[in-house]
C-alpha cells in the first residue's frame, strides 16, 4: 500500500545528483539513493558496478555506508531514484535488510522518477515485513 506524502526536496536532489555519478557500464541501469539521518544530515550513494559482476554495490548500500562513516546510525527518510521513470525502483532484498538495520518500521522509502516525483512510497516494514533485526539477537550477557 502506498502513501500520499511527497518526498523531501533536498533528499530527492541528493539522490538524483548521486545517480548522475553511477558506475553502471554493464547493466546501464543507474540508481541514486539518499538517506536522511536523525541529525538531519543527508548521505547519498550510487550503484557502483564491477567487471567481476557480483562485486557490484547498490546505491542504497553506498548511501548507508556514507552515513555510518559520518557517524550516523538512524535513518529517518529514504529516496531511491532509478529506472525509466515509470516503474518504481524498489530496493533489492539485500538492501531492504541493510536499510532495516538503521531504520524504524515506519521509516518511509520513496521511489522517485527522474524529476523526483514519487512513483511509490512504502515503509520499511511494508518492504520487509516480519524482519530479522538487532533485537532478534541476544544481548551481551544474556547467553545461557
Q: Which residues are catalytic?
A: 60
Does residue 113 belong to the site contacting ligand THU (CB under 6 A)? Answer: no
DSSP string, 17-77: HHHTT-B-TTT---EEEEEEETTS-EEEEE-B--SSGGG-B-HHHHHHHHHHHTT---EEE
Write out the three cell numbers for 104.
Answer: 524504524
Bridge partners, residue 44, by sequence: 34
Using CB under 6 A as the binding rule, whether residue 120 contacts ligand THU is answered as no
CB 18 within 8 A of CB 59: yes
**Which of 7, 72, 88, 91: binder of ligand THU (CB under 6 A)?**
91
Site for ligand THU in 9-68 (CB under 6 A): 24, 27, 29, 31, 47, 49, 56, 58-60
Binding to ligand THU by residue 92, rule CB under 6 A? yes
Contact positions toward ligand THU, by CB under 6 A? 24, 27, 29, 31, 47, 49, 56, 58-60, 80, 82, 89, 91-92, 95
Amino acid at each position: 500500500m502506498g502513501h500520499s506524502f511527497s518526498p523531501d526536496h533536498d533528499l530527492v536532489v541528493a539522490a538524483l545528483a548521486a545517480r548522475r555519478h553511477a558506475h553502471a557500464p554493464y547493466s546501464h541501469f543507474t540508481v541514486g539513493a539518499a538517506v536522511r539521518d536523525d541529525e538531519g544530515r543527508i548521505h547519498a550513494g550510487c550503484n557502483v558496478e564491477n567487471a567481476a559482476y557480483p562485486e557490484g554495490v547498490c546505491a542504497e548500500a553506498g548511501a548507508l555506508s556514507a552515513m555510518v562513516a559520518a557517524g550516523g546510525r538512524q535513518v529517518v527518510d529514504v529516496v531511491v531514484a532509478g529506472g525509466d521513470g515509470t516503474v518504481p525502483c524498489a530496493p533489492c532484498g539485500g538492501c531492504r535488510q541493510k536499510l532495516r538495520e538503521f531504520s524504524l518500521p515506519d521509516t518511509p522509502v520513496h521511489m522517485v522518477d527522474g524529476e523526483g516525483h514519487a512513483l511509490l512510497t512504502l515503509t520499511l516494514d511494508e518492504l520487509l515485513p516480519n524482519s530479522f533485526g538487532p533485537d532478534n539477537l541476544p544481548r551481551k550477557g544474556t547467553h545461557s
